[in-house]
Amino acid sequence: MIEKEIKYTPVSLSKKEKDALKNDLKHFGYLLPTNEEELEEFEKIYGTTQAMFPEHLKDSSFLHKKKETRSSKLSSIQNKNQSKSGEKKAIVKKAPVKTLPKNSYFRRLVLAAEIASQLHEEPTFGHIKFVKVQYLCEEVCNMQLKSNYEKFAAGPLDYKSMYSIDAEFKKRRWFNVIKSDYGFRYEPLENLNAYKKYYLNYFSIFSSQINTLIDLLRKEKSEFCEAVATLFAVWKHSLKNTQGISESHLIKNFYDWSEAKKRFKEKYLSEIIVWMKENNVFPV
């Protein structure tokens, strides 16, 4: 039997048809997401999973190799992933519900946008209060956002994150950050609503706790928020080190945090500890 050679006639696609084909390939997982919106759609279908990077990506010399080499290796990786499409479905079912492992920086930015959106009109809202509210939201909800809060005179602070958030707010046209003699103010800009779709996706499971915490601190001054955040931090440290959690112990550690804490009166701190217990604003 003589096999008849099949000839294929190349078909020229219009730009609209090419775009439609590309979107279909992205939707079904054959192309990797290239921006935040595509990542959102990808995660809705396939879940949030940890990517295993090939060993050659850990070698800095890889960055200097030719683009053709990188493209061929990437194609090989994509082909392997496509052949395991059945495994992807199993991973989706097992994907954790309350963990936020991917793109932690962008998630912190989105959380910050929600806080600033709710509090920017309050006269007490500035950098110190902003940082403390964000810290307490992350800690009380146990978000695991890989923040790097360090020990500063005004309490726990992720210094680099705070100023990069200000820069991103301006860049994305979410907020204009204005520095005045009275501190920092946040003025909403035309693209502010853009963050909301991400917030609903990332933080819907925490939204009730976040709103409650924001409302509890809405009218409070920066010093109150500073004291609450610092007490929370020393409380958490004591739990980790299996130390006593008595009121006197917490107040002693509060004063040991920094010389600047000596301005807080002991009676005032006692009242705040009672407030924290009443409102469940303490580490477990």
Q: Say if 79 falls within a structural domain.
A: no
> Which H or E run contains 156?
strand 155-157
Query: Could you report the per-residue pLDDT of 92-140, keeping only the tens digit for each?
Result: 333 333 444 457 889 999 999 999 999 999 999 999 999 999 999 999 9
Query: Could you report the per-residue pLDDT of 142-192, keeping only the tens digit for each?
Result: 998 888 888 888 888 887 777 789 999 999 999 999 987 778 899 999 999
For every residue of 21-59, DSSP letters joined together read: HHHHHHHTTSS---SHHHHHHHHHHH--------GGGGS
Domain that holds residue 196: 104-278
Q: Band of the pLDDT at 200, cuts 50, 70, 90?
A: very high
Q: Band of the pLDDT at 14, cuts 50, 70, 90?
A: confident
Q: Is pLDDT of 245 > 50?
A: yes
Query: Could you report the per-residue pLDDT of 55-100, keeping only the tens digit for each?
Result: 444 444 444 444 444 445 445 545 555 544 444 333 233 333 344 4
CA trace torsion 72, 78, 82, 87 (10° rounding):
140
Q: Say if 97 falls within a structural domain.
A: no
Residue 33 to residue 53: CA distance in whole angstroms: 16
Provide the pLDDT for residue 68: 44
Q: Is pLDDT of 258 > 90?
A: yes
Q: Say if 206 falls within a structural domain.
A: yes
Provide the pLDDT for residue 158: 83
Q: Say if 253 falls within a structural domain.
A: yes
In the chain, what percentage of residues exceed pLDDT 70?
Answer: 64
In the chain, what percentage of residues exceed pLDDT 90?
Answer: 50
Q: Say if 166 falls within a structural domain.
A: yes
Q: Say if 130 falls within a structural domain.
A: yes
Provide the pLDDT for residue 42: 53
Q: Say if 73 falls within a structural domain.
A: no
Q: Say if 284 falls within a structural domain.
A: no
Provide the pLDDT for residue 86: 45
Evaluate whether 252 touches 235 at the Cβ level (below 8 Å): no
Whole-number average pLDDT of the chain:
77
Provide the pLDDT for residue 169: 96
Q: Is pLDDT of 238 > 80?
A: yes
The total number of structural domains that make up the chain: 1
